[in-house]
């Protein structure tokens, strides 16, 4: 008990430390360019790319007492391919995969709870990992499809891993990108100094208000930094519009704020009934060490791993054509 308290104090102590560094950085940037620091564009009308017919039609469903928004494309009679996004993304991050795979699958990309047009419950409790898994389980069962191809990235991948361990019968095959198995990530964070440094933002996001302020700084230039190299100006504007809406930053950050309270107990032993999966990882990920690939392969059966060089964390957006081809090859096996 005492050891747990010490770990928690150290965890929040690092949050304060990184908060001080961020405040100093924001102050320097404000001094250099005060006009840019305070600028903020009002966004009331969504960019046209979010409603373009080729990325699908918009629908809603209630699961676990929460309204979930999703976009679907393709023939409902075909196998379902379900896309689960990470942070700081929403359904639109799968646009390249929806366009490609809707020819052969019924593609469904949801806004996870707290994101986009889905409900945004207040507080951190609704964003516990097991609660998010229950959201996803009910979504799959209510959509009434016999099994699915499950595709997850980042936080979406973390949720998918727990779903797979508990409800493998809901999934035919799966593809997870740049999100190691939760047992692997927990071990890396506890023992690997490089991983702890790379995950500095996990500590920082524990703070109230300041993370939201830093992400809004300079009219959400955070999204310019993340996505401008592999997205069009309209793509970047889609992110800025989505995350500028009321509560649209706080709810996703609450995923992180609930991390110290996540408890995953009584996990079933993984066995040969675990569906066949692919773990795809961009080697230049700035947030997760690539050692996580081999480590995940040792704890998950029936898993194929592929490390792609010279690409980062958002692999499905950075090199969509190559990723789509890798996915097709795996699904044909």
Mean pLDDT by 10 residues, the chain (333 residues): 77 95 94 79 92 93 97 96 98 98 97 98 96 97 89 98 94 97 94 96 97 95 94 96 96 96 64 87 97 96 96 98 98 92
Is residue 315 in some structural domain?
Answer: yes
| The pLDDT value given to residue 263 | 76
Going from the C-alpha of 311 to that of each of 100, 162, 323, the distances in angstroms are 20, 26, 11
Q: Which two tokens stand for residue 35?
A: 């006009």
Domain count, the chain: 1
Is residue 317 in some structural domain?
Answer: yes
Is residue 41 in some structural domain?
Answer: no
Question: Among all chains, which residue has been given the structure tokens 């194929």?
Answer: 304
| The pLDDT value given to residue 270 | 58
Could you give the CA distance from residue 182 to residue 188 in angstroms, rounded to a whole number?
10
Could you give the CA distance from residue 34 to residue 218 in angstroms, rounded to a whole number?
9
Is residue 252 in some structural domain?
Answer: no
Q: What is the CATH number of the domain that holds 231?
A: 3.40.50.1820
Q: For residue 101, how far is the Cα from the chain centroid?
A: 20
Is residue 257 in some structural domain?
Answer: no
pTM of the model: 0.95
| The pLDDT value given to residue 5 | 81
Residue range(s) defining the domain that contains residue 143:
47-198+218-237+277-332
Residues forming the active site = 154, 256, 313
3-state SS, residue 245: coil
- Exposed/middle/buried for residue 146 (C-beta within 10 Å: 0-12, 13-18, 19+): exposed
Q: Are 155 and 125 in contact (CB under 8 A)?
A: no
Is residue 107 in some structural domain?
Answer: yes
| The pLDDT value given to residue 271 | 59
Is residue 42 in some structural domain?
Answer: no
Terminal Cα-to-Cα distance of the chain (whole angstroms): 48
Is residue 187 in some structural domain?
Answer: yes
| The pLDDT value given to residue 272 | 62
């Amino acid at each position: 008990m005492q050891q747990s308290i010490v770990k928690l104090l150290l965890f929040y102590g690092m949050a304060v430390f990184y908060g001080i560094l961020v405040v100093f950085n924001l102050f320097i940037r404000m001094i250099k360019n005060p006009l840019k620091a305070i600028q903020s564009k009002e966004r009331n009308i969504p960019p046209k790319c979010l409603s373009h017919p080729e990325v699908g039609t918009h629908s809603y469903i209630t699961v676990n007492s929460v309204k979930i928004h999703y976009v679907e494309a393709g023939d409902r009679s075909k196998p379902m391919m379900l896309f689960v996004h990470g942070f700081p993304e929403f359904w639109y991050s799968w646009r390249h995969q929806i366009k490609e795979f809707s020819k052969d699958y019924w593609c469904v990309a949801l806004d996870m709870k707290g994101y986009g047009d889905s409900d945004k419950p207040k507080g951190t409790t609704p964003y516990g990992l097991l609660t998010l898994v229950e959201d996803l389980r009910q979504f799959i069962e209510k959509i009434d499809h016999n099994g699915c191809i499950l595709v997850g990235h980042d936080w979406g991948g973390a949720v998918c891993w727990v779903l797979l361990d508990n409800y493998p019968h809901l999934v035919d095959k799966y593809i997870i990108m740049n999100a190691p198995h939760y047992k692997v990530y927990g071990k890396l964070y506890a023992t690997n100094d490089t991983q702890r440094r790379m995950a500095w933002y996990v500590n920082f996001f524990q703070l109230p208000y300041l993370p939201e302020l830093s992400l809004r700084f300079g009219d959400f230039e955070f999204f310019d930094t993340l996505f401008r190299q592999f997205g069009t100006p309209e793509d970047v504007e889609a992110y800025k519009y989505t995350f500028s809406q009321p509560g649209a930053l706080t709810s996703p950050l609450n995923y992180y704020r609930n991390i110290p309270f996540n408890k995953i107990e009584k996990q079933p032993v993984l066995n040969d009934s675990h569906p066949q999966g692919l773990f795809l990882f961009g080697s230049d990920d700035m947030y997760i060490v690539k050692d996580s690939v081999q480590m995940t392969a040792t704890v998950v059966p029936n898993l194929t791993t592929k490390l792609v060089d010279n690409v980062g964390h958002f692999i499905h957006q950075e090199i969509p054509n190559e990723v789509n081809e890798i996915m097709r090859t795996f699904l044909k096996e």
